[in-house]
Amino acid sequence: MNARAEKICAALIIAASFILFSLYSVLTPLFEASDELWHYPMVQHLATGGGLPVQRAGQTDAEAPWRQEGSQPPLYYWIAAAFSAPFDSSNWRDIRRINPHSDMGVPTRDGNVNVVLHTPAEAWPWERATLAVRAARLASILMSTATVFFAYLVARELFPNDAARRTRDASLLRLASPVIVACTPMFAFISGAINNDNAAVLFSTVGLWWALRLMRLGDLSLKSAVVAGAIAGLGALSKSSALGLVGLFGLAGLLTAVDARRKAQDAPRSLVFRLSSFVFVTLVVTLLISGWWFVRNQALYGDLLGWNAFLDVVGRRDQPASPAQLWSEREGFIWAYWGVFGAMNVIMSPWVYDVLNGLAALAVVGLVLRVASAVLGKAPLRQDAGRQILLCLFWVALVFVALVRWTSLTPASQGRLMFPCIAVISAALAYGWRVLHRHVLLGACAGLAALAIIAPFAFIAPTYTQPPNRWTQRLPLTVNAKFGGAVCLQEAGLETTGVPQPGDEVTLHLNWLLAQPVTRNYSVFVHLIDEHDVIVAQRDMYPGQGSLALSEQPAGRRWSDRYTLRLSPLTPAPKQLRWAVGLYDHATGERLPLANGDDRAIFGAIELGRRTDASPLLRYANGLELLGYALDPSALMPGATLTVTTRWRAARPLPDDLNVSLQLLDDGANKIAQQDLGQMLTQWPAGEEIALTHALAVSDDATPGVYHLLLVWYAPDNFARLPAYDAPGQFVGDQITLTRLRVR
């Protein structure tokens, strides 16, 4: 392909990227992208003349609707505010009606993913706040379109024409790389949303291109340093993760100086001076542009990056995540690179991720084969390829290490946070596929493009469609419970695949009818209760799988809902459970009554079978495994004694002696019983089952109610708690609620 044809193709790819990102933006309802619920209030605040906010823990949504985003660097928000400012956004809170039950960050089988209750005001033609939000999204679309352009420039640096590579192959790689960037579904999705990642990724990609360019040209001039400092400064004002650009430029300068010395182009003293000047000017320009932001953070929050303020709002992990805990989050991390939409709770079909991971594995195979060929001397690398590879690997490692550090402090295991190096990753994928065969590269790119186009129609738009005004099916159990004389629960049906066991999910289908209009947006609660009226599993959501504002529905409105409740693997069994369903006002807690004065419709019965899975209930970090436990009695009186027998096994020799504690506490952490036992764990033989018996004396003045049975392993010297993991390896905490018991 000649140069002119390649440039035309590149222009078409960039234009198509803009259209693709716009498609995602249009098909994603307002505020349904990751953290857009918090990003837009920051944009709106600046667009209407507000200054930079000061973060304080405990601020309400009325005081700080931007939540943690108020301590983010401001450049992205200023740019988005400039796009949004011409439009009247005074009704923005009317269209940002937060769904308090939304399963943000948690994909579920029964929907309830929407973070807001949507209104007709969002529909076309866009007006007022809807138009202002769309305008802010346009800023993101343009930034990401520019990212695709600079990803193409990065590919031009990595894949130049030379004697060792046919021009057609080099041109194909240069064009494939930006295609892979644009058609990574998660990148396309976030590109159509209000999110400061779009600015950080743009400046990171620009910085990578500039670093590769200056190495190729051997350019350590004052001009090059000023541009590098400007890119790093603007990146730092976009997101703290872009601060690594300073290190990227430093390494690029060092590699350039080493190469110049190898070629004997300059005397050592001259090279040291040029390199020192380059680094110094880069740092000075970076600080001139962004330094004020770090000074402000230090003055307000006591740290240069403002992380304290951010974590105070978004929340810290109970303790920094261990490598094992981070490893247990790897699947979600990888999925979130390819595409987890909505508020990180709308996923593609699982097989799609398997195919994408398989394609990535193919690329790795190609890269390994290419390295092997270079090592064996069959196909030597281009002369400057080593420096480029080192620089790219350094950038990926820098971003990854920073992300690991960050996610160890707060739950943020999202692969999309690797997008500052998406140009490198995409170029590596393209090259690995091309090593195998050009048809592999073309097929992979075509598949990614098809997926990127199909995903918003197949996975995003249908998720937010309100249910039709009809029942999807008739259900076998007639309930006929009318709440508040207005909301009728007509029928129920259980979706079963056999006798459920602890750890299983059970789904209840309900058919509803609104007999007459109501004035509040009521929530539905669905409980599974045991014989002592203790809630074993619970699901709360707005009607219509979380999508219906009940106060806006007309009389006669019908809808079908399904509620999937997960039974904890720790649930004692066997036992009989019943359904309890009702409606309440989330703002006040007030429940709608039935005609008989009760506030729940109780019906049906489920036999919960004994757990047949032989795998441990819990695995602890030191190799300790909980195999099961038994209680006697299952309900208590003040002054009674609860006997708990736990069964344990050491998967391997245990390194330290610990204490184990069982406690009974209410929802307010008021304790009515506790017993701690010291255990010589180092003497437990590996593989042998050991039973421990606790006798918990319930306080004589214990208040009737429901209490949590809490399990804790801790070190006797410093009280450090031992982290626990479930059977799949997910971290579940270091204070485990085994079950709940009623005190009468």
Q: What is the CATH number of the domain that holds 723?
A: 2.70.50.60
Residues 510 and 630 in one domain: no
Decide which of 577, 608, 639 is a domain's last residue. Answer: 608
In a domain, 664, yes or no: yes
Q: What is the pLDDT of residues 503-560, one digit of tens each?
A: 999 999 999 999 999 999 999 999 999 999 999 999 999 999 999 999 999 999 999 9
In a domain, 408, yes or no: yes
In a domain, 524, yes or no: yes
Question: Three-class SS of residue 560?
Answer: strand
Which pLDDT does position 167 carry in this prediction? Answer: 61
Question: Three-class SS of residue 646?
Answer: strand
Residues 635 and 598 in one domain: no
Place of tokens 């692969």: 415
What DSSP string describes 436-448?
H-HHHHHHHHHHH
Domain that holds residue 503: 477-608
The structure tokens listed for 450 are 């098809």
| Calpha distance 22→31 (Å, rounded) | 15
| Calpha distance 685→694 (Å, rounded) | 21
Q: Compute CA distances 624 → 400, 631, 643, 684, 724, whole Å.
A: 31, 21, 22, 10, 9
Q: What is the mean pLDDT of the chain?
A: 93
Residues 384 and 526 in one domain: no
Which residues does 387 contact at the CB level (< 8 Å), separation at least 6? 215, 255, 259
For the chain, state the CA radius of gyration: 29
Residues 532 and 622 in one domain: no
Which residues does 208 contact at the CB level (< 8 Å), separation at least 6? 150, 154, 248, 392, 395, 421, 423, 424
DSSP letter for 458, please.
Answer: I
Place of tokens 């400061």: 196
Place of tokens 């940002």: 96
Residues 486 and 455 in one domain: no
Of 510, 590, 582, 520, the closest CA to residue 549 belongs to: 520
User: Mean pLDDT throughout 687-704?
Assistant: 94
Residues 22 and 82 in one domain: yes
Question: Three-class SS of residue 131?
Answer: helix
In a domain, 184, yes or no: yes
Residues 135 and 197 in one domain: yes
Q: Compute CA distances 741 → 118, 457, 530, 540, 704, whole Å.
A: 39, 46, 10, 21, 11
Which pLDDT does position 265 carry in this prediction? Answer: 66
How remote is the C-alpha of 580 from its chain's centroid?
Answer: 32
pTM for this structure? 0.91
Could you list the beta-strand ranges (E) of 567-637: 575-584, 601-608, 618-620, 624-632, 635-636
Decide which of 460, 486, 504 is a domain's last residue. Answer: 460
Residues 115 and 223 in one domain: yes
| Calpha distance 210→150 (Å, rounded) | 10
Which pLDDT does position 478 carry in this prediction? Answer: 96
Residues in the chain, total: 744
Tell me: pLDDT of 237 over 60. yes
Residues 238 and 347 in one domain: yes
In a domain, 444, yes or no: yes
Q: What is the pLDDT of residues 369-381, one digit of tens each?
A: 999 988 888 878 7
Which residues does 686 contact at the CB level (< 8 Å), separation at least 6? 623, 650, 651, 652, 653
Decide which of 460, 486, 516 is a domain's last residue. Answer: 460
Which residues does 110 contact at the CB level (< 8 Å), separation at least 6? 507, 539, 541, 545, 562, 563, 564
Residues 631 and 551 in one domain: no
Residue 56, Cβ density class (10 Å: 0-12 exposed, 13-18 middle, ≥19 buried): middle
Region of poorest pLDDT, from 47-61, 131-145, 447-461, 561-575: 47-61
Q: How many domains does the chain have?
A: 3
Residues 246 and 368 in one domain: yes
- CB-CB contact of 629 with 646 (8 Å): yes
Which pLDDT does position 627 carry in this prediction? Answer: 95
In a domain, 318, yes or no: yes
Question: How do 736-743 and 635-636 pair as beta strands?
Answer: parallel
In a domain, 265, yes or no: yes
In a domain, 570, yes or no: yes
Tell me: pLDDT of 571 over 80. yes
Region of poorest pLDDT, from 271-280, 355-364, 695-704, 728-737: 728-737
Residues 536 and 657 in one domain: no
